[in-house]
């Protein structure tokens, strides 16, 4: 049984919650999660790009419902500037021009990028995206003590 704590509430999902989106017994919440612990990510892109096109993606089949999206990890920016974060659902960015959240950083800091949105019933592919306003941004995913996590929770 997999577990995810969301706003202090424990959400349980039957089976593994790594990536695939397993249903809880009795038709409860769908949960998908990817945790990366091997290899940091970096970008100098001034346009939104996927953080990782192959390994940091959650595929989830849902009903007509709300999704809670979360990207959590450790961020470093090499020079003064902003890192803009967004999520795509089925290839469509969710935020406006600057994304859903921008983080100003010239030092190492923990981040939690969250988004709440409605989706129609069906199979959905969720990916985090990012861009910089200047410099180089680094998301740590180098070990179990500094993981990068993407979690998607269907709220019913």
- 131: pLDDT strictly greater than 90: yes
All domains of the chain in start order, with CATH: 35-148 (2.60.120.760)
6-40 pLDDT per residue, tens: 444 444 443 333 444 444 444 567 899 999 998 89
Cβ–Cβ under 8 Å, residues 113 and 75? no
> Closest Cα to residue 151, out of 2, 11, 31?
31
43-97 pLDDT per residue, tens: 999 999 999 999 999 999 999 999 999 999 999 988 778 999 999 999 999 999 9
| pTM to 2 decimal places | 0.81
81 vs 73: CA distance, rounded Å: 18
Residue 136 confidence (pLDDT):
92
């Amino acid at each position: 049984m997999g577990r995810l704590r969301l706003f202090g509430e424990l959400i349980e999902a039957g089976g593994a919650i790594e990536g695939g989106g397993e249903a809880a017994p009795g038709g409860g919440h769908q949960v998908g999660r990817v945790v990366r612990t091997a290899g940091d990510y970096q970008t100098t892109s001034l346009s939104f790009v996927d953080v990782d096109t192959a390994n940091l993606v959650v595929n989830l089949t849902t009903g007509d419902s709300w999704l809670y999206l979360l990207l959590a990890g450790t961020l470093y920016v090499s020079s003064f500037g902003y890192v803009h974060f967004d999520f795509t659902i089925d290839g469509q960015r969710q935020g406006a021009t600057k994304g859903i959240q921008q983080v100003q950083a010239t030092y190492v800091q923990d981040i939690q990028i969250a988004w709440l949105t409605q989706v129609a019933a069906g199979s959905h592919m969720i990916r985090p995206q990012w861009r910089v306003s200047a410099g180089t941004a680094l998301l740590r995913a180098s070990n179990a003590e500094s993981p990068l996590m993407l979690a998607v929770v269907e709220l019913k």
